[in-house]
Amino acid sequence: HVQLVETGGGLVQPGGSLRLSCAASGSILSINTMGWYRQAPGKERELVAVISSGGGNTNYAESVKGRFAISRDNAKNTVFLQMNSLKPEDTAVYYCYATVLSYTSGGAYRNYWGLGTQVTVDS
């Protein structure tokens, strides 16, 4: 069984910063891609950022390029999202995901999701 737990959400004023963390735990053999999605009220879930297994390749939604930075600590099975210059339109529930090879996945990588953390940008 694999669990992902996000932390770091909260209320911040426009122009402020937050750092989200997501730690994966459980019967993990290997983690490939990790990333963040978000879902605002009344909208579909959208990709925010993704990072490769070694951390050398990243990809961002156009709306967050230059403001957000994704990173990971493979020793701790953790992915981070540094969010700067936050805007009200960044308000959403942020979900992390990880593509994991576990002891119980039958030799296949599977996507696992956290429960989400609320980010609210409001003055």
Q: Residue 106: its pLDDT value, please? A: 83
- Identify the bridge partners of residue 72 per DSSP, sorted by sequence position: 79
CB atoms within 10 A of CB 14: 13
Q: Which two tokens stand for residue 93?
A: 């529930």
Measured from the Cβ of residue 22, the count of other Cβ atoms closer than 10 Å reads 26
Residues in the chain: 123
Intra-chain end-to-end CA distance of the chain, in Å: 40
pLDDT in tens, the chain (123 residues): 899 999 999 999 999 999 999 999 999 999 999 999 999 999 999 999 999 999 999 999 999 999 999 999 999 999 999 999 999 999 999 999 999 999 888 889 999 999 999 999 999
Residue 95 pairs with which residues in a beta bridge? Answer: 37
CB crowding 72-104: b at 16 or more within 10 Å, else e: beeeebbbbbebeebeeebbbbbbbbbbbbbee
